[in-house]
Structure 1
Amino acid sequence: MKLRTKLMITFFTIVLVPIAMVYVCIFALGSFQARTLKSDYDITGVGDMYSGASVQVFNSLTMNVQHDIYEIAGKDPDRFEDSEFQQELNQRLAGKYSFLVIRKGEEIIFSGNAGGDEEELKTELPDYRSSDERNDNKSGSVFSSDSKRLIKQQDLTFSDGTRGSVFIVTSVGELIPQIKSMFRDMTLAVLILLIMISALLTMWVYRAILRPLGELKKATKEIKEGNLDYELKIKEKDEIGQLCLDFEEMRQRLKDNAEEKLEYDKENKELISNISHDLKTPITAIKGYVEGIMDGVASSPEKLDKYIRTIYNKANDMDKLIDELTFYSKIDTNKIPYTFSKIDVNAYFEDCVEEIGLELESRNIDLGFFDYTEGPVMIIADAEQLKRVINNIVSNSVKYLDKKKGIINIRLKDDGDFIQIEIEDNGKGIAARDLPNIFDRFYRTDSSRNSSKGGSGIGLSIVRKIIEDHGGRIWATSKESIGTVMHIVLRKYQEVVHE
């Protein structure tokens, strides 16, 4: 769920849920109180209390007693002079926040208002109703705003001809205890609901926003302190969750870059060590032969010529190492200078074999060339870099020849849309565990270094890089003590025919 959606849900929850819950509470508690009022006071119009029409509620409160007074006033008015009957009626009204008042003539003959001021009450009581009013029962009710009393009046005539009135006085200023309890319960219920809703929303927001931000802050601190292994585990799929995922991806990339840098630094140190060792070997030899010439050890022209040739060969070895190092730096920055052109593979390899053969012959190594293709085969390649590939592979084969008579064969094979080049030697071979790694930089099948099997350890990695940049593929097969075959596959050049 997106963060925007969560915020919208939170907003509508804060606004609508409390309103709905308050309504439910009012309805539930109101219904309960209505049943209570109906049971205790026989009141059915509780809805008027909610709307503010409390007079109507209190009017209905004493309706039954009022009806009885109306009946007795018409049939037996003298009963209102009976003290027992007076007390009975007043007792019925006492539970309804009301009391009974009976007036005969101008005097009050009964007042149920214990401890009340009769003179003040007398002034509040309405006068007798006029005989010309169209009201057969001569009854009515008034509301005193000063004392907040509802006064119901029932006029009558005693048997001796004296006019009289029976009053039901209800104190509107005092609410019924159940109604007070109802509003108190409603207020308490609304407060509890608001607190619960706020707590739930706070927990939800905390889990959705604050907790992931806390985890993100902790992860940031860990990375700042250099701990790139601290993993940020966030399952949310909102904007913050996506931010955490991006942060985790950034951490992983930082970790990978740091590991690559460590590996790169390690490889550079190894390269420097290898080059230093491999340069030291020919330099030591050159110094030795030069000292021999200076000391007159090379006394004959033949011996002097041998020393000079040896110095020349060692200088060539040094030049190759420096050239290899220079090329390696170009590989590392992807700045290899390629000049692609259309090349006739058959003629190209004939020239390569002729050139390499002269050097191998001086080392008592036979070089064979076998062309199994039909007709001229063209490829798009950089002639100089492809020659570097052939020389590196052949040099590597020469380095590990362990037979008295070394043999290196180069074969060209037609493979449909591709040309396959195989360079085979009869050297000591490569162990199966080492074979998948021989094209990695600085990988050595022979961990012990010596002058005869030196090298920078980047020759075959250069070969793979050049072949892959040509859109080709290279791999090796080998058998220990028998020899190794390097397989190179390059795509043929095909003319596009326009119709």
Structure 2
Amino acid sequence: MKKQMKLNHQLLLTLVVLLGGSIIAFGIILPISIRFFVDRKTYETLLVEQDKLMELGKYYDIQYGRQNGVYHLVYSKNSTMSFNEIDSEVLHQRLMYNEFFDKLKSQIDKQEKMQETYKFQASQESIYYVIQKSEFGEGLVSYTIEANNQSLSHQLFMDTLFIIVVALTIILIIFFRWNNRFVKNLKEIQERLDLIGEGKITQPVELKEDVLEFQEVMIALEDMRKKLYENEQVKKKMIHNISHDLKTPIAVIKSYAESIMDGVYPYGTVEQTAQVIFDQASHLQKRVQGLLYLNRLEYIRSQDEADDVFDMEELIREVASYMEPLENKPQIELYLTKQMYEGDIEKWRVVLENLIDNARRYARDKIVITLNQNQFQLFNDGEAIEEVQYGSIFEPFEVGKGGVTGLGLAIVKKTLMVYGYSITYKNEDEGGVTFTICKN
């Protein structure tokens, strides 16, 4: 099994590897870069002075060149001389660096390019020189003796290394502070998740952190907590309503069954009494089927299934034909255009049946169904929905007028949510209620 590490240990290990690699890289690359920089600047100085000499000739200020540490020698085919024929300093250099001066003539002869840069390493000093060769075989040598290049390179390296160490120290301090804060935030998120996992969802999630990403996580946690809390309240309310709604038919079935067993028939005959038991059992069956259907919708909602497309106009006409009352009222009026809707046609059939069944319960004279490009509307001319029911009529077992309870409108809303539709209602000024279904 792969060994697991804490996040802060992984971050620390990553930082150590990066810093170690950086230090090693600096230790190798930095000295080379510094030496390259020093060499390049020295050669640039030599080339500038040599160009001045060639341009000015006898008007060239030798002492100005000496101030920059630059000396010049002219090598002819037969002899060697310094630019200044009597120069004790150059003579002294010839004695000090005899090997260097002895090889200059042969280098001039062997040099193929017109101008070339060289470096001669003496015991304590470095001699940088440039040979400018003429087409007649003569050679102009411009050179400088640097005794402090090594110490300069070393000093530059140490100064740069000091800056790097200070910068890395600051980075480490910032990293440890950030790491502690980061881990603390993760632990807080873990604690909140543990509380939610234990069902402790009453306490809101506090937004202490000012980092945007952690705020987004905290907001998502708070949204999840609110939804879980709301679902918990709905579940408790549903359980209460179910127990209350099923208590009466169960009591009736039990008492009537006991009466039959005792030879007593509350409704006159055994058949009539059995019919009451049958009706109450049917009521129970309807409630259980409704609950199972709601649970089925929750499952469908969690699945990523492709939606069918069907003709809503045709389905409305079919459902209205078998749900319109045999008696004259309420009549169902249809004003439909051909519209294609998404979803399972049988589940939409249940939506229409529940909406029409609810409308029949409250309508006086008519039910009007309108279908156009933008929306589906169902109007009934019954009484307005009371204010106390605003926002709750789509809840399971919500008590309506006359003490009627059920799952019809809850099933309607849940089905529409599955397929990306929404439902609203409005009390009309002239009377009646209109339910409207729109695509989200």
TM-score (norm 2): 0.51
CA distance in 2, matches of 1:299, 1:443: 30
Shift of 1:321: 0.9
Are 1:370 and 2:341 counterparts? no
Contact residue 428 and residue 480 of structure 1 kept, 8 A: no
Shift of 1:476: 0.8
CA distance in 1, matches of 2:345, 2:415: 11
Which residue of the other structure, out of 340, 348, 356, is the alignment partner of 1:386? 348
Identify the residue that residue 430 of structure 1 maps to in structure 2. 386
Identify the residue that residue 413 of structure 1 maps to in structure 2. 370
Identify the residue that residue 185 of structure 2 maps to in structure 1. 219
Which residue of the other structure, out of 347, 351, 370, is the alignment partner of 2:322? 351
Distance 1:437 1:201, change over 3 A: farther
Distance 1:215 1:225, change over 3 A: same
Deviations 1:156-184 (A, max 9, x none): xxxxxxxxxxxxxxxxxxxxxxxxxxx99
Please tell me the root mean square deviation across aligned C-alpha atoms, in Å.
5.8
CA distance in 1, matches of 2:324, 2:397: 28
**Residues 9-28 of structure 1 aligned to structure 2 (within 5 Å):** 15=30
Contact residue 344 and residue 379 of structure 1 kept, 8 A: no
CA distance in 1, matches of 2:250, 2:30: 87
SS in 1 for 2:245: helix
Shift of 1:462: 1.9
Which residue of the other structure, out of 284, 288, 291, is the alignment partner of 1:318? 284
CA distance in 2, matches of 1:389, 1:195: 77
Contact residue 371 and residue 377 of structure 2 kept, 8 A: no
CA distance in 2, matches of 1:480, 1:411: 16
Task: Letter of the 1:475 partner, please give it.
Answer: T
Task: Letter of the 2:369 partner, please give it.
Answer: L
Distance 1:349 1:281, change over 3 A: same
Shift of 1:260: 3.8
Identify the residue that residue 200 of structure 1 maps to in structure 2. 167
Contact residue 309 and residue 340 of structure 2 kept, 8 A: no
SS in 1 for 2:300: coil
Which residue of the other structure, out of 414, 428, 431, is the alignment partner of 1:465? 414
Distance 1:484 1:467, change over 3 A: same
Shift of 1:322: 0.5
Distance 1:280 1:344, change over 3 A: closer
CA distance in 2, matches of 1:394, 1:306: 31
CA distance in 2, matches of 1:344, 1:230: 50
CA distance in 2, matches of 1:419, 1:187: 82
Shift of 1:407: 2.3
Distance 1:482 1:288, change over 3 A: farther
Greater RCO (CA < 8 Å, at least 6 residues apart) = 1
Identify the residue that residue 270 of structure 1 maps to in structure 2. 237
CA distance in 1, matches of 2:274, 2:429: 37
CA distance in 2, matches of 1:299, 1:226: 59
Contact residue 380 and residue 433 of structure 2 kept, 8 A: yes
SS in 2 for 1:429: coil
Identify the residue that residue 329 of structure 1 maps to in structure 2. 295
Contact residue 373 and residue 414 of structure 1 kept, 8 A: yes
Identify the residue that residue 9 of structure 2 maps to in structure 1. none
Identify the residue that residue 38 of structure 1 maps to in structure 2. none
CA distance in 2, matches of 1:427, 1:306: 35
Shift of 1:199: 1.6
**Residues 19-98 of structure 1 aligned to structure 2 (within 5 Å):** none
SS in 1 for 2:234: helix
CA distance in 2, matches of 1:263, 1:473: 19
Shift of 1:325: 0.8
CA distance in 1, matches of 2:354, 2:181: 53
Identify the residue that residue 112 of structure 2 maps to in structure 1. none
Task: Letter of the 2:385 partner, please give it.
Answer: G
Deviations 1:92-141 (A, max 9, x none): xxxxxxxxxxxxxxxxxxxxxxxxxxxxxxxxxxxxxxxxxxxxxxxx99
CA distance in 1, matches of 2:250, 2:429: 33
SS in 2 for 1:407: coil
Which residue of the other structure, out of 410, 417, 427, is the alignment partner of 1:478? 427
Identify the residue that residue 74 of structure 2 maps to in structure 1. none
Shift of 1:314: 2.0
Task: Letter of the 1:330 partner, please give it.
Answer: R
CA distance in 1, matches of 2:376, 2:351: 14
Identify the residue that residue 452 of structure 1 maps to in structure 2. 403
Distance 1:407 1:306, change over 3 A: farther
Task: Letter of the 1:325 partner, please give it.
Answer: L
Percent identity between the two aligned chains: 22
CA distance in 2, matches of 1:218, 1:326: 44
CA distance in 1, matches of 2:429, 2:374: 29
CA distance in 1, matches of 2:215, 2:266: 74
SS in 1 for 2:364: strand
CA distance in 2, matches of 1:480, 1:307: 47
Shift of 1:264: 3.5
Distance 1:271 1:410, change over 3 A: same
Shift of 1:349: 0.9
Aligned residues: 318
Task: Letter of the 1:346 partner, please give it.
Answer: R
Shift of 1:250: 5.6
Shift of 1:345: 3.3
Structure 2 residues not aligned, in runs of 5+? 1-14, 43-64, 70-90, 97-149, 194-204
CA distance in 2, matches of 1:489, 1:186: 78
Identify the residue that residue 252 of structure 2 maps to in structure 1. 285
Greater helix proportion: 2
Distance 1:471 1:47, change over 3 A: closer
CA distance in 2, matches of 1:378, 1:197: 72
Distance 1:234 1:266, change over 3 A: same
Instruction: Give 1 or 2 for the bigger CA radius of gyration.
Output: 1
Contact residue 351 and residue 412 of structure 2 kept, 8 A: yes
Distance 1:283 1:451, change over 3 A: farther
Contact residue 421 and residue 487 of structure 1 kept, 8 A: yes
Contact residue 414 and residue 420 of structure 1 kept, 8 A: yes
